[in-house]
Amino acid sequence: MTILTQVLNGLQLGSIYALVALGYTMVYGIILLLNFAHGDIIMVGAYISWIVMSQLGLNPVLAIVLSIVGCAGLGVLIDKVAYQPLREAPRMSLLITAIGVSYFLENGAQLVFGADAKVVPEYFDLPSMSVGGVSLSANAIITIVVTAISTIVLTILVQKTKLGKAMRAVSEDMGAARLMGINVNNTISFTFAVGSVLAGIGAVLYSMAYSQATPTMGIMLGTKAFVAAVLGGIGSIPGAVIGGLLVGFAEVFVSAIGLSVWQDAVVFLLLIIVLVVRPTGILGRPMTEKV
């Protein structure tokens, strides 16, 4: 395999991690919550695609739309049911609740769909492209382009829109934002919806790359995306993308040199090194706690 092929594989895998990491970053940036159920929302999105295409035999475009909408709805529902009642609770209570929601989704999926992997049909049968005699996967190119567009749209949403300004106000000072007339609960729910839309897009792209859905697929995917978010500086949109690409390239090149059994260890070793050298991550900024 050529270096160009490995670079494309790294970009494809890193783009998926980046999308998931952006969801982590969105939620953490607003309420300082590590939403460990985020990876399992992706798992639900993959199962929705499987049901729509494999079980119901409907159009792949409908499967994509329903996966994204379903993930967005699930994210808002989780916030309303599990997190909103704990807005004023200690942060540890929210963290334990997030872990509980993750286990609930995983075991619920196993109960409903079984523990075996379900094969997600191809959304589109796209031919590979040849550049300089090297075959480039159309799915990989789509993944990279979609991630780039999603990142740009998310940046514009956060920086230029009224809802984005409300999100930034809530992240800076929730009490002051409430006094300024911002509906904090609605703003947080909107943030969960945006993060879960990214999870839905990630679910579709992951299914395009690996064509399967399992109840536990969100565990390692979510963990590595969390590593990516921390690497780039959790709370930073460009940082999440950089972290995702770093994790993706690390995995691909470790596998390329014949050490695939070490690819998970290398990802976490990379995290340790970055945290030792720069605890806030590559683009993170130090945060001062008010007392």
Q: CA 108: distance to chain centroid? A: 21
What average pLDDT does the segment 199-221 reach?
90
Torsion of CA 105, 111, 117, 119, to 10 degrees: -90
Which band of pLDDT confidence, cut at 50, 70 and 90, is reported for residue 175?
confident
Name the more confident of 280 and 47. Answer: 47
For the chain, how many structural domains are there in total? 1
Whether 48 is covered by a domain: the verdict is yes
Q: What is the DSSP string of 53-78?
A: IIIS---HHHHHHHHHHHHHHHHHHH
Whether 239 is covered by a domain: the verdict is no
**β-pair partners for 129:** 136
Whether 4 is covered by a domain: the verdict is no
Residue 4 burial (CB < 10 Å; 0-12/13-18/19+)?
middle
% pLDDT > 70, the chain: 95
- Is 237 a residue whose pLDDT tops 60? yes
What average pLDDT does the segment 5-34 reach?
85
Whether 26 is covered by a domain: the verdict is yes
- Is 50 a residue whose pLDDT tops 80? yes
What average pLDDT does the segment 17-27 reach?
88
Name the more confident of 120 and 289. Answer: 120
Which band of pLDDT confidence, cut at 50, 70 and 90, is reported for residue 286?
low
Q: What does the pLDDT read at residue 270? A: 84
Q: Which of 107, 103, 89, 102 is nearest to 34 (CA)?
A: 102
% pLDDT > 90, the chain: 33
Question: Are 222 and 39 a contacting pair, CB within 8 Å?
Answer: yes
Whether 10 is covered by a domain: the verdict is no
Whether 41 is covered by a domain: the verdict is yes
Condensed to tens digits (0 to 9), the pLDDT of residues 104-148 reads 999 999 999 998 999 998 888 777 777 666 667 788 888 889 999
Largest Cα span, the chain? 62
Whether 50 is covered by a domain: the verdict is yes
Boundaries of domain holding 145: 16-218
Whether 225 is covered by a domain: the verdict is no
